A = this chain, B = another copy of it.
Amino acid sequence: MSVASELIRGNTETIILAQLMKRDGYGYMVNKAILNMTGGRFELKEATLYTAFRRLEDAGCIVSYWGDETTGARRRYYSITDLGKESYRLRKKEWETAEAVIDKLLSEGEGETI
């Protein structure tokens, strides 16, 4: 089953930060990494991806710099800041809380089992 994007909403920035926790990356690469990690089940739309990068940079969670590629298309690399790392940990906790709450609320829909 593919992933309903309504349900991902609010997690895109956290997902991007998670990628950047490992190493610096550029947009296209980050998205391909996400695609690979999910076995092709999920990929951010480009417009979503780049607007999320923009928001994260405006918020001081990441900084960007142009790569020094002498060949191929230019790449804008992003690096996570200390603020971004802090923000990532907070967002992750928020996700875990929300996840638990939703799981709990949806687990009640099963009356006809047993």
**Which chain B positions have C-beta within 8 A of A94?**
1, 3-4, 7
Which residues of B sit under 8 angstroms from A4, Cβ to Cβ? 10, 94, 97-98
Which B residues touch A114, using CB under 8 A?
none
Q: Is A49 an interface residue when CB atoms closer than 8 A count as contact? A: no
User: Would B92 and A15 count as touching, CB distance under 8 A?
Assistant: no
List 16 contacting pairs A-B, 8 Å CB cutoff, sorted by A.
A6-B9, A7-B10, A8-B98, A8-B101, A9-B10, A14-B106, A15-B102, A15-B105, A18-B105, A18-B109, A19-B109, A21-B108, A21-B110, A41-B101, A42-B105, A92-B109
- Please give the number of chain A residues whose Cβ is less than 8 angstroms from any Cβ of chain B in the complex: 40
Closest approach, in angstroms, between the C-beta of A78 and any C-beta of chain B? 14
A11 on the interface (CB 8 Å rule)?
yes
Q: Which of B7, B17, B21, B95 contacts A95 (CB 8 A)?
A: B7
Report how far A109 CA is from B87 CA in the complex, Å: 12
